[in-house]
Amino acid sequence: MRLRAILLTALACALSPAPAAAEPTIATLPGGARWAAEVPPEWNGTLLLWSRGYSPKLGAPEVAPPGLREALLGQGYALAASDYGAAGWALEEAVPAQIATLSAFAARYGKPKRTIAWGYSMGGLVTTALAEQAPASIDGAAAFCASLGGAVGMLNMALDGAYAFRTLVAPQSDIRIVGIDDDMANGQRVAGAVAEAVKTPQGRARLALAAVLAGLPGWTEPETSAPAADDYQAQARQMASAIVRGVFLPRVDQERRAGGIFSWNRGIDYRAQLALSGRGTMIEALYREAGLDLAADLATLNRGATIRADPKAVDYMTRHYGPNARPTVPLVAIQAVGDGLTSPSMQRAYTEAAGNGAKSLWVAQAGHCPFKPATALAGLHYLEARLARGAWAAKAAGFVDNMPPRMLRPCFRGRRCR
């Protein structure tokens, strides 16, 4: 009976959940940003430094996405993050706040055996900035659905799409593409123009051209299957649904921070851009079905490409933060194949430029940062295997092969911008 009682007690302990970590510790850094941390009772020695994505409002620091916190603590990871001390495109504040968070964590809990930076969307770019520090304050980095092209390259590509949209789809509208005073109101005007354009073959063809120039994939809608490679109409519909958020990205805060316009299209040849995209066949087919003259529309775009950037604004955005694609620690980039908000072409451009310093993993789904806990954990474990073995594994379970179109406006720090 005593043995039976011991076995039952052991089984109950094995099946019961791990002890919950204490409530997050929240404190203030010397620069004024707040930071938070959670350390599980049985810490495995690894600290995960979380970087949040873009937010127009400043909230309390979260140490991980809500759906992942418990899973990560259950696997023994310590978690930490700051609120950056600022909302908006806060790269200038985010990187030093995150580095200060690491120092504050070590002072309170002891130095981790290993530190991994990770983040979603803009937080993936913050993570990339931490990985490019020399010397880095981290051991590895996982950038999820990240703005890996940096603000200048990403917004230049978005500008091309927005410019084509306003010029060809809504030429009589008051839609603005730079110098915007209200992102939300401008987006509502765009949404109205999209709703009208999708009603006609001509509108759909021109929407598709704008989307291709902006780097949008042909699969963007969550909970849908990827359109066939030759189903151009289905791809056009999916791209149209992503134009408001994927092409007309928030600019007000960024231009305010930079002190002016930091995107340009003067000198851009849109015939060459379409050819470089590798999707000219699709656009030609859509234009042919709509009875439109593609050459004439491209000529119109080339004639009106006169937007100039303020060099000082470009310099600010490059410093905060234009990636150089030279990570000093291993970096894994994880993204959905059908991300209609952060162009997958940026991940391709970064990992190709970084060579063996970075690795791409692709998830067979659509949407921006829609990762399930198992997917996020698989990406982190893949990076940990790289840190342990000194080489990237050839294949990661749960991910797929993918080759998105080229990034049409790459702009890495220290290299010529296209």
305 shares its domain with 157: yes
Neighbours of 209 (CB within 10 A): 31
pTM, two decimals, is 0.92
Residue 14 lies in a domain: no
136 shares its domain with 241: no
169 shares its domain with 305: yes
pLDDT value, residue 367: 97
| DSSP summary character for residue 325 | S
> Is residue 4 pLDDT above 70, yes or no?
no
260 shares its domain with 362: no
Res. 248 pLDDT band, cuts 50 70 90: very high
* C-alpha–C-alpha distance, residues 359 and 386, integer Å: 10
pLDDT value, residue 10: 30
* C-alpha–C-alpha distance, residues 212 and 343, integer Å: 10
Neighbours of 340 (CB within 10 A): 28
99 shares its domain with 38: yes
* C-alpha–C-alpha distance, residues 206 and 373, integer Å: 38
Neighbours of 123 (CB within 10 A): 28
pLDDT value, residue 396: 86
Residue 77 lies in a domain: yes
Domain boundary among 258, 282, 317: 317
Q: What angle in degrees, to the nearest 10, is found between the helix axes of 150-164 and 270-277?
A: 110
Percent of the chain with pLDDT over 70: 94
212 shares its domain with 344: no
pLDDT value, residue 67: 87
CATH of the domain at 113: 3.40.50.1820
88 shares its domain with 129: yes
335 shares its domain with 364: yes
* C-alpha–C-alpha distance, residues 107 and 95, integer Å: 19
> Is residue 3 pLDDT above 80, yes or no?
no
| DSSP summary character for residue 219 | -
Domain boundary among 317, 350, 375: 317
Distance of alpha carbon 283 from the chain centroid: 26
261 shares its domain with 378: no
Q: Cα dihedral sign for 110, 113, 118, 123? A: positive
pLDDT in tens, 267-297: 999 999 999 999 999 999 999 999 999 999 9
Residue 75 lies in a domain: yes
Lowest-pLDDT range, 65-69, 319-323, 332-336? 65-69
292 shares its domain with 183: yes
189 shares its domain with 276: yes
pLDDT in tens, 380-393: 999 999 999 999 99
Residue 411 lies in a domain: no
| Mean predicted confidence (pLDDT) in 24-52 | 94
Res. 23 pLDDT band, cuts 50 70 90: low
> Is residue 11 pLDDT above 80, yes or no?
no
pLDDT value, residue 212: 98
* DSSP-assigned states of every residue in 365-392: EESSS---HHHHHHHHHHHHHHHHHSS-
pLDDT value, residue 18: 35
Helix (H) or strand (E) holding 298: helix 294-303
Work out how many domains the chain is built from and give that number.
2
Residue 346 lies in a domain: yes
Distance of alpha carbon 27 from the chain centroid: 28
> Is residue 234 pLDDT above 80, yes or no?
yes
Lowest-pLDDT range, 82-91, 115-124, 220-229, 393-402? 393-402
> Is residue 1 pLDDT above 80, yes or no?
no
* C-alpha–C-alpha distance, residues 123 and 91, integer Å: 9
pLDDT value, residue 20: 42
Residue 401 lies in a domain: no
Bridge partners of 335? Answer: 362
Backbone torsions φ then ψ of 209, nearest 5 degrees: -60, -45
Residue 72 lies in a domain: yes
- Full domain range(s) for residue 262: 151-317
Res. 19 pLDDT band, cuts 50 70 90: very low
pLDDT in tens, 128-154: 999 999 988 999 999 999 999 999 999
Residue 396 lies in a domain: no
Domain boundary among 317, 336, 371: 317
353 shares its domain with 367: yes
